[in-house]
A and B are shown apart, each in its own frame.
Chain A
Amino acid sequence: MKRGLLSGRTFSRYGMLLAGASLVGIMSICALLAPAIAPFDPTELNVDMILSAPSLVHPFGTDALGRDVLSRMLYGARVSLWVGFVAVGLSVAVGLVLGLAAGYFGGLVDEVIMRGVDVMLCFPSFFLILAVIAFLEPSLLNIMIVIGLTSWMGVARLVRAETLSLRGRDFVLASRVAGAGPARIIFSHILPNALAPVLVSATLGVAGAILVESSLSFLGLGVQPPTPSWGNMLMEGKNVLEIAPWLSFFPGLAILFTVLGYNLLGESLRDVLDPRLKE
Chain B
Amino acid sequence: MIFFGITVISFSVIHLAPGSPTDLQTTMNPLASTDAKDRLEKLYGLDKPLHVQYVQWIGRLARFDFGRSMSGDFRPVWDKIKERLPLTFGMNAASLILTLFIAIPIGVASAQFKDGVFDRVSTVFVFIGFAIPGFWLALLLMYGLGIYFPILPVSGVVSLDYDSLSPLGKLLDIARHMAMPIFIYTFGSLAGMSRFMRAGMLEVLRQDYILAARAKGLPLRAVIFKHALRNALLPVITILGLSVPALIGGSVIIESIFALPGLGQLFYNGVMARDYPLIMGSLVLGALLTLAGNMLADLAYGLADPRIRSGRKNA
Mark A residues whose CB is within 8 Å of B.
Answer: 1-2, 4-5, 7-8, 10-11, 115-116, 118-128, 130-136, 207, 211, 214-215, 218-219, 221, 234, 237-238, 241-242, 245, 248-249, 252, 255-257, 259-260, 263-264
Contact = CB atoms under 8 A, between A and B. Distances in A.
Nearest to A6: B123
A131 B134 CA distance: 20
Question: Which of B111, B195, B202, B250 is packed against the most chain A CB atoms within 10 Å?
Answer: B195
Interface stretch (B74-82, B178-186, B223-231, B240-248): B240-248
B139 A248 contact: yes
Interface residues of B, number: 63
Contacts of A256: 128, 131-133, 136
A244 B275 CA distance: 35
Contacts of A118: 2, 5
Interface of B: 1-2, 5-6, 9, 13-14, 17-19, 111, 114-115, 119-120, 123, 126-128, 130-136, 139-140, 142-143, 147, 192, 195-196, 198-199, 202, 239, 242-246, 248-250, 252-253, 256-257, 267-268, 271-272, 274, 279, 282-283, 286-287, 290-291, 294
A134 B143 contact: no
Closest 8 CB pairs of A and B: A126-B249, A135-B17, A252-B136, A119-B5, A124-B245, A260-B131, A259-B131, A134-B271
A127 B274 contact: no
B131 A263 contact: yes
13 contacts: A119-B6, A119-B9, A124-B246, A124-B287, A127-B252, A130-B271, A134-B272, A219-B268, A238-B257, A245-B143, A249-B140, A256-B136, A259-B132
A257 B131 CA distance: 8
Nearest to A252: B136
A245 B144 CA distance: 10
B5 A115 contact: yes
A130 B130 contact: no
Contacts of B1: 115
Nearest to B198: A8
